[in-house]
Each structure stands twice: as structure tokens, then as C-alpha cells.
Structure 1
Amino acid sequence: MKIEDAKMTRRSFIKQIYKLSLGTIFLSSMGFGYARYIEPRQLKITRHPLQSVKIPMSFDGTRIVLFSDTHIGFNYTADQFSKLVNLINEKAPDIIFFTGDLLDAPNKYKEIGKVTQLLKDLRAPLGKFSIYGNHDHGGYGSEIIKMIMEEADFELLVNENKKLYNKMNDYIYISGLDDGMLGKPDPVKALQKIESDVYSIFLAHQPDLVKSIENLPADLQLSGHSHGGQVQLPFFGPIFTPYGATTYYEGFYQVGSTQLYVNRGIGTTRVPFRFFSPPELTIFTLRSLKGRSE
């Protein structure tokens, strides 16, 4: 090989390495921009039927909207929340569930009145229900969140349950658990006196708490907290999930006799990124199987 040819080969090699380096930097920058500014705003609406012989025929077609983990104040604003409220109302839910972490730092947030009014504007003729998340208790937020939910006509369920009646005077159970990290969760108390032949929906912020309700009357657990990991890698999954969501982090699971659904949440926390884990609004439709399998 001639010296000039060797020089050309080295020059070509260096040029290719340089291009590769630039490409890597460019792709990394594009990935950063996407994860920081695009995916966190790409709300995905998921729809699922909930079927059971325990659901009364008169509840067939009842629509539930679940949202979670807004973390308002950390890269998610009240104006953005206003758009979400309008979207939820457009879906005409009969029931609304919020599974915790409304404000990222309740004692530092300045637009409490605006958020309260937005929550109040949500419409659901059969009821609006919420539970505490760890950020709701954190930052001396327990009383702040309680006040917001009361003024916004949400029932804040803390280790308790209630019968939810419809116009036909049929009912299902709704129960809520206190936060599993900073609260005092008592699943036995939350699910006490629930009739085993009546459909029962259980709200718990941390999905892994499903392990604590084994042999208790909960047909469905709805949770948040995980954010779907916020950042997932193809073929690998989440690179990190928080305590309380290390086993179950998104979507449906069957855990014993309880069906679990984990919502990825609306906002972000700790870091303002989402990658392969877009924010989620979930719409469930109750479907009665009563009489179909008898």
C-alpha cells in the first residue's frame, strides 16, 4: 500500500469516526429534546372494558375516568391542567377517580385556588373520588389537599369505603387507602363490611399494595405512582421505578382474585423527562356479565 493510500485510509477512518460522533451527539440531543419537551405533552387516552358478573345490569355502560399523578408545580402548570379538565369533561364520565399526587410540593404551591376551581369544574354525576399520594402528605400537604378536595366536591377516601348508588338504586363499592409511604394505610379497615358478591373498586396510590389485600373483597385496584417508570428503554423496560411500584408499573395485572390497573400518570416528578412512557388518561366502561354466565 502506498503511503498516500494509507494516509487516505486513515483520513477516511477518522472522518467516519467524526461523523459517527456527530451523529451520536445529534441523536442524543434529539432524544433529550423529545424526552424533555415532546413526550411529556403527548397524552395517551387508553380505553378498557371492566367485566364482571358482580356488576349490576343497571351499571352496564357506566363510564369511569381515571387520572393520577399530575404533580402540578413541577413542569406541569395549572393552565395545562385546565386543558386536561376540559378533555375529561368532553368524555362525559359518570365517575371520576384521582389516585393521588395532585401537587408536587403542596406547601410551596401558590395557585391553590385556581387548581381547586378546576377540580370543582370536573363533572361526574355519580361522584368524584380521590386518595392521598405520597406527595399529598409530603410538604405538610395533608390538610391542604383535604381542603382542596372538599371544596372541589371530591370525596377523599382514607381507609374507608362507601356504597355508590345509581339512579336504579343499585350499588357497587368504592374504597380508598391512605398513602403507603407517608400515610397510615389500613387495608382491612378500608375494605371492612364489603359484601363479597358486590363489585368492589379499591383505590391505592402505590400499586404494589395489591399484595396487602389478598383475601380481601377487592375486585379491581386502581393505582398510579409509578409514572410507568417515566423513562423506559426498548426491550428493557423502565430504568427506574419508585418504591411501591417495583413489581407493577403500568397496565393490567391479575394478582390473586384482584385485577390491578396501573395508570402512568399525567405529570413528571424528580426529573422532567418521559421516554417510551407517555402520560395517560384512562377510560373504563363497566360491563355487566350478570345473567350471561348463569
Structure 2
Amino acid sequence: MRIFRLISRVVVVLLIFLGLQFYIGWNGIQFLDAWFGGVSDVLFWTFYWIVAMSYVISRLLERVLPGRIALWLKWIGSYWFAILQYSVLLLPVADLSVWVLRSASLPKDTSIMIVGTVIIAIYAGILLRGSWNAWNPIVREYTVTVNKRAGDLKQLRIAAASDLHLGTVVGRRYLSLLVDRVNELKPDIVLLPGDVIDDDVEPFKRFDFGSIIKGFKSRFGTYAVLGNHEYIGGKIEEFIALMEKAGIPVLTDETVKIANSFYIVGRKDKAAGSGRFGKKGRLAVRELVEDLDQSLPLIMMDHQPSAISEAADNGIDLSLHGHTHRGQMAPNHFLTRRLFELDWGYLRKGNLHAIVSSGYGTWGPPIRTGSRSEILNITVNFAPLES
């Protein structure tokens, strides 16, 4: 019975997906016919379905297609996801506008040409501005005060970048930019709060990302945790080994005491406890910190910002998160805002300073219209309370 329900849901989702794709294609051929007339249905629909299904084709056939063809199909398909989302929002308005113009006695083809040209201009604006936001990261500054002693440290400068999503779309050049920008900040420590890779570990090896990511320079080194996409990829042990080869420990429900001054607490991602990926669950925050010297600052990385209250209740002083991308493409940020207590930015909760990044890389289309790609530059001042 459970299998039947699962198959039914998959079929329903697939039919909706194909129906939306057909709706976009139908509007496209109406527009081309209005402008040029006599467009070949066979040629149009053949080309259209290759474009519309290019991402799916690239993933299903990537092991048999020539590498460059698979790469281009994935790039096209990634951008098409943005077209798909905004078509769902724009095309019903466009079709209604055509109906209004025709009701005002404007010829059908003229109405379609006018409205269609406006819609294409909007698409172009979204893709251009969204690409700019995605490929031109900003440095987001935060300053917090933790009321604890940290050995001889009076201040700690943290550079953090979540959601790199390294793969075939986010590649070597963009990773090199991250390393250069982070090193310009001269941080004391570099933290990577999950989703370093975009599911598959193979591009990490193929493009030798390890030779670049090991280039971070800081006083206390670089540490990472797992995100949900590492679990989706399924080769966690191999990924951890590649990161450690690059000199970056991946903390999986582990803690590290740095310079006898503060702790880095690295949680497994929430996906570890879902059972979906066949992995053991993760420890509670209480279990992670119970044997630590809590008179020292506790800095935690937890990819998904789903346990901020738990962190606050168990003595964490600073928690760093990613995952949400702040929706990445507007108006998705309205959804992430409802799903998470904090989907982006800063929140003070008791003694906890929680920060959620919109991420450095992108998932799916390299388009950001609801957020910017960002690097976090966090200054932590240590100021113990007077007794």
C-alpha cells in the first residue's frame, strides 16, 4: 500500500511537471507563429523538449554522453529551471493580458506580439540580474560579543561560506574566487557550514577541487560540516577523505578545542536522522556539549537552521547555518521565511548569536533574485561579564 501511494505521488508530480512544460511550449509556439507564421510544429517541439528536459537528460545519460555535451545540457537545464519557475508566475498574467487586448478589438497576433515581447524582456532582466547576483558574491559583515573568556584571545575573526555546491555548474574558477576573497579578509579561522558539494562527489575528484580548497589561509585552519546534499550524494566517507586530504577536517558530531580558547562544534546534518539516506541519526546538542568546558566559547556549525532553540538552550554562543539560500529566487523567500525561525541573517536568542547565510554557490539555476551570493566575515569579541 505504501509503495502504491509513493508511485501515485510520483506519477502526479510527473504529470504536473510535464503539463507545465507543455503550457510553456504552447505559449512559445503561439508567440513565434504571431511573429513569423508557419513555424514547423515538429521542429519546434523537438527542440523545445530537448531544452525543457535537458537537465533530466544530462543526469540520466551523463555516463554515456560525451562530457562536453552532458555539461552543456546541464547548464541549459539549470537555467531552464529559472524559466520554468517564472513562467508559472508570468504566463497566466500574459495570457490574461492577451485576452484583454483582444477584447479591446486588437488583432490576435498583435496582442500576442506585444505581450510576448514584454514577457521576454522580463525573462531577460531576470536572467541577467539573477546571474549577476549569483556570480558576484558580497562580503556580509557581522560583529557579535560573547560574554566569556577565550584564553588569551580578545577577538576572533571568522570567515564562513556555506552552500558552495561545487560540481559541474559551480566550478574551479568560482571556488578560486572564494579562496582569494576569504584570504583577503585575513581570518583567524575558516568555517564551511555544509553543502560543499552539489550531491555528486565525482566532479570534486574530476576537477581536482581539493587542490584549490586547500588554499584557505588562517591562523587556526579550516573546518567543515556535512549538509543535506552530501547525504543525497551518498558517498560521505569518500567526500570526508577528500576534504581531509585537502587539510580540512569534516566534523560529524564532533568537537574541536582550538588553542585552549574556544570550541568548534560540528553537527551532522538533519538529513542524517531522517532515515531517508540509510544513515544513523545525529546527536542532540546537549550530548555534543555535555563534556566540554562551557566556560569557554562554543561555536557550532549546523547546516540547516532547524535547531536554533536547541542550540540556545544548551549553551551554544554562536551558531552558523546555511541551507535556505534565502529562497534563492524570489518569491521563494516567503516560503523559507515560514519554514524556519530564521531563514537568513542574524538572530539573538538568549545568549546565542545565530547567523544564517544565503550561501556562496547556487543549487539548480545559477540565478539569484531573492538573495545574493555571500561570504560571511564575522568578528567575535570576547568580553567576560564582571563578577
TM-score (norm 1): 0.83
- Once the 2 structures are TM-superposed, how far is the Cα of residue 290 of structure 1 from its aligned partner? 2.9
Read off the aligned partner of 1:219 and give its amino acid letter: D
Matched, 1:247 2:247: no
CA distance in 2 between partners of 1:238 and 1:10 (Å): 40
Distance 1:287 1:74, change over 3 A: same
Q: Secondary structure at the match of 1:241?
A: helix
2:122 to 7, 14, 27: 27
Does the 8 Å CA contact 2:149/2:295 hold for their aligned counterparts?
no
Distance 1:215 1:242, change over 3 A: closer
2:370 to 276, 279, 287: 276
- Once the 2 structures are TM-superposed, how far is the Cα of residue 74 of structure 1 from its aligned partner? 4.8
**Paired residue for 2:379?**
285
* Structure 2 alignment gaps of length 5 or more: 1-103, 274-280
1:45 to 122, 139, 142: 139
**Paired residue for 1:5?**
none
* Structure 1 alignment gaps of length 5 or more: 1-8
1:189 to 281, 287, 308: 287
Matched, 1:211 2:309: yes
- Once the 2 structures are TM-superposed, how far is the Cα of residue 156 of structure 1 from its aligned partner? 1.6
Matched, 1:122 2:201: no
CA distance in 2 between partners of 1:45 and 1:182 (Å): 30
Distance 1:110 1:45, change over 3 A: closer
Percent identity of the aligned residues? 23
Read off the aligned partner of 1:153 and give its amino acid letter: G
Map 1:130-169 onto structure 2 (within 5 A). 130-165=224-259
Structure possessing the higher relative contact order (Cα contacts under 8 Å, 6 or more residues apart): 1
Matched, 1:179 2:269: yes
Distance 1:17 1:114, change over 3 A: closer
**Paired residue for 1:95?**
189
> Which deviates more, 142-151 or 63-72?
142-151
Q: Secondary structure at the match of 1:156?
A: coil
- Once the 2 structures are TM-superposed, how far is the Cα of residue 119 of structure 1 from its aligned partner? 1.9
**Paired residue for 1:105?**
199
Distance 1:118 1:69, change over 3 A: same
Root mean square deviation of aligned Cα:
2.8
2:156 to 59, 62, 80: 62
Read off the aligned partner of 2:336 and give its amino acid letter: T
**Paired residue for 2:15?**
none
- Once the 2 structures are TM-superposed, how far is the Cα of residue 219 of structure 1 from its aligned partner? 1.1
Read off the aligned partner of 1:41 and give its amino acid letter: W
* Between structures 1 and 2, the one with greater strand share: 1
CA distance in 1 between partners of 2:242 and 2:374 (Å): 23
CA distance in 2 between partners of 1:74 and 1:112 (Å): 10
Does the 8 Å CA contact 1:226/1:242 hold for their aligned counterparts?
no
CA distance in 2 between partners of 1:240 and 1:268 (Å): 17
